[in-house]
Amino acid sequence: MNVLASQDLLNRIIWIRGIPPVDFWIRREGMIGEFVQKNKLKPIDTAPFEIEAIAGAVEAREEKAALPLRRPPFPGGMRSPHLHFRGAVYALNEQQWRAFSGGVVKDLNERLAKASVLSFDQMRDVAEGIDKFA
Amino acid sequence: MARKYTLCLTHQCNLRCAYCYIDKRAGRMPIEVAERIVESIFASSASGEEIDIGFFGGEPLLEFNLLTKIVDLIESHPGYERSAVTLSVVTNGTIFSDDIADFLREHGIVLCVSCDGPPQVQDRFRKYRNGRASSAKALKTIGIALKRLPLVMVNSVYRPETLDDLPGSVAFLSALGVRQIYLNPDVTAPWRAEDAAKLPGIYGSIGDAYVRAHLEDDPHFVSILDSKIAVLLRGGYQRSERCQMGSREIAFSAEGAIYPCERLIGDGRGGPHCVGNIRDGLAPQQEGRFCTDPAAGATSPCSGCGIREYCMNWCGCSNFLSTGRYDRMSPFLCASERAAVTTALRVYERLESIRPGIFSDHLAGKPSLLSRVERRERRSHEETPGFNACPGH
């Protein structure tokens, strides 16, 4: 079989080459795949979103969005909650978005409690040490 | 993962900002050097690969004619793909005209103006050679640019002397109509522990204004918040978001000397950070030389830090300029990152509880310049008669 004849594979190659720009979706593929499966999400057709982006037709997007859209200035792609998994796009409703993103807040609060502090005194000691040897 | 190239068109500048890291001297980029750089950029990029090319100085708009010629070189190159290349210019805002605005708009070049805030803040460190204040011209440029260009970024630098003014400066820029605000400390300043202790309150105050703006349906991009919200949703900085100085991030002095980052150009005639010259080609750079991960060593204070994945401790130029080492972070930047992450998290919690999904685009988008979709969107707006500003302005 000509591998490029497979649309899925082609999408995936395009995906890995950097469209869209972040590698989050690839590095967290396992976790995202699990979420998609657990919530029985179905991929959506993204072509209308691309056309809308070109035309700037925000109203048309709002009808399709599960949650309110956010306008620029943040540079991003489709402005409604969604996940990317293996070249396909999965839209999320409010409950699903909360489930997906909720963990990050809890996790970061815990991490902040363990944040280190670089002390100014320590830095001064290092600088003085360097001066001594210079 | 975009490749980032910065071209220092000239080492001359009409201002003498106290914290500028480029040494001022005569020196303009010869067009032959620009040709070699453009050729090398496309030769080392795959078809369709995202490329960010920034025009820098000195003051690059002192050499506006040269800039137009280089843009022509880029756009007429057989490897040029409009959707993959982002052009930007960083200016001090004192040299601007209708012709410049028209050219930037016509070629989709992003304008970034350096402005620290209201006159009493801006004029403290951004002065002409004769000591004259620069605020009147810079603010006029921002006003014109906002009316005529689809995207205007403002980069504000703060020092210990202006730290308390930071929330006021953000409010001032917002009132002017600026919606893309980048805040950067002068990393070379003599920061003290007392300054670091103020950061949670100062960033928190900016966070409050940011929340209010969102609730009034007038969102702003504020770098210390938006970039951290993106990072918190992604569970840390992704590989492509981290500094890649000397490999995918390259800067050129006016004579074509190659540096890992524009902040390390100095006088542009060689020096400890120089890794070659474009006349010898754009060889694979010495990546190992610029190892910038302070958390890499087990004995590093960063290695056990709970938020190291959310921290910009990998910014080699900031580290070098503040501590003399690419891989050592300064205590002030450590405090700034902690305060930014904490503030971003609180902002996220507040806004997400009121408007769920409001930050979903931060998971997908990138907090820098423009995405492909936005570039296309912007171009379609440019082709629409009567369009003259970003939505929300």
Predicted ipTM of the assembly: 0.75
SS3 state at A105: helix
pLDDT of residue B379: 44
A62: pLDDT confidence band, cut at 50, 70 and 90? very low
pLDDT of residue B78: 94
Which residue has tokens 């605000």? B181
Q: Which domain holds residue A91?
A: 22-133
Establish if A15 belongs to a structural domain.
no
**Chain A closest-CA separation from residue B140 CA (Å):** 22
Say whether B380 and A110 touch across the interface (CB within 8 A): no
A92 has a pLDDT exceeding 70: yes
B1: pLDDT confidence band, cut at 50, 70 and 90? low
Which residue has tokens 């609180």? B346
Instruction: Please enumerate in sequence order all residues whose Cβ is within 8 A of that of A134, keeping only pairs 6 or more positions apart, or say none.
Output: none
B48: pLDDT confidence band, cut at 50, 70 and 90? confident
Over chain B, what HEC string results?
A: CCEEEEEECECCCCECCCCCCECCCCCECCHHHHHHHHHHHHHCCCCCCCEEEEEECCCHHHHHHHHHHHHHHHHCCCCCCCCCEEEEEEECCCCCCHHHHHHHHHCCCEEEEECCCCHHHHHHHCEECCCCECHHHHHHHHHHHHHHCCCEEEEEEECHHHHHHHHHHHHHHHHHCCCEEEEEECCCCCCCHHHHHHHHHHHHHHHHHHHHHHHCCCCCEEHHHHHHHHHHHHCCCCHHHCCCECCCEEEECCCCEEECCHHHCECCCCCCCCCEEHHHCCCCCCHHHHCCCCCCCCCCCCCCCCCHHHCCCCCHHHHHHHHCCCCCCCHHHHHHHHHHHHHHHHHHHHHHHHCCCCCHHHHHCCCCCCCHHHHHHHHHHHCCCCCCCCCCC
pLDDT of residue A73: 42
Average pLDDT value for residue range B49-70:
95
- Half-sphere exposure (Cβ direction) of B182: Cα atoms closer than 13 Å: 15
Establish if A73 belongs to a structural domain.
yes
Residues of A in contact with B372 (CB under 8 A): 19-21, 77
Angle at B346 between CA B342 and CA B348, to 5 degrees: 115
Establish if B392 belongs to a structural domain.
no
Which residue has tokens 């970039």? B227
- Which of the residue ranges A52-56, B239-243, B263-267 would you say has the lowest mean pLDDT? A52-56
Average pLDDT value for residue range B300-305:
85
Which is higher by pLDDT, A125 or B149?
A: B149
Q: What is the pTM of this model?
A: 0.84
- Which of the residue ranges A77-81, B90-94, B217-221 would you say has the lowest mean pLDDT? A77-81
pLDDT of residue B30: 98
A64 has a pLDDT exceeding 60: no
Share of chain B above pLDDT 90, in %: 65
Instruction: Please enumerate in sequence order all residues whose Cβ is within 8 A of that of A115, keeping only pairs 6 or more positions apart, or say none.
Output: B305, B306, B307, B338, B341
Establish if B283 belongs to a structural domain.
no
Q: For residues B296 and B304, what is the distance between their CA atoms, to the nearest angstrom?
A: 10
Phi-psi region of B68 (alpha: psi -120 to 50; beta: other; left: phi over 0): alpha
CB nearest B371 (choices: A20, A119, A123): A20
A89 has a pLDDT exceeding 50: yes
A18 has a pLDDT exceeding 60: no
pLDDT of residue B293: 67
Share of chain B above pLDDT 70, in %: 88
Establish if A114 belongs to a structural domain.
yes
**Chain A closest-CA separation from residue B1 CA (Å):** 6
Establish if A88 belongs to a structural domain.
yes
Say whether A111 and B307 touch across the interface (CB within 8 A): yes
Q: For residues B186 and B168, what is the distance between their CA atoms, to the nearest angstrom?
A: 18
B165 has a pLDDT exceeding 60: yes
Beta bridge partners of B185: B158
Establish if B326 belongs to a structural domain.
no
B196 has a pLDDT exceeding 50: yes
A48: pLDDT confidence band, cut at 50, 70 and 90? low
Establish if A14 belongs to a structural domain.
no
Q: Which domain holds residue B98?
A: 3-245+338-382
Say whether A118 and B329 touch across the interface (CB within 8 A): yes
Best CA proximity match to B178, nearest among B204, B141, B132, B215: B141
B201 has a pLDDT exceeding 90: yes
Which is higher by pLDDT, B285 or B390?
A: B285
Number of domains in chain B: 1
Say whether B221 and A73 touch across the interface (CB within 8 A): yes
Cis peptide before B60 (omega within 30 of 0): no
Say whether B367 and A74 touch across the interface (CB within 8 A): yes
Mean pLDDT of chain B, nearest integer: 87
Q: For residues B118 and B169, what is the distance between their CA atoms, to the nearest angstrom?
A: 6
Q: For residues B259 and B174, what is the distance between their CA atoms, to the nearest angstrom?
A: 35
* Token pair listed for B137: 């011209």
DSSP string of A8-75, one letter each residue: HHHHHHHHHTTSSS-SHHHHTHHHHHHHHHHTT---B--HHHHHHHHHT-HHHHHHH-SS----TTS-
Establish if B255 belongs to a structural domain.
no
Task: Give the domain CATH number at B50.
Answer: 3.20.20.70
* Token pair listed for B325: 């080492």
Residues of B in contact with A54 (CB under 8 A): 376-377, 380
Residues of B in contact with A113 (CB under 8 A): 306
Enter the DSSP assignment of A3. Answer: G
Establish if B343 belongs to a structural domain.
yes
Average pLDDT value for residue range B119-128:
97
Number of domains in chain A: 1
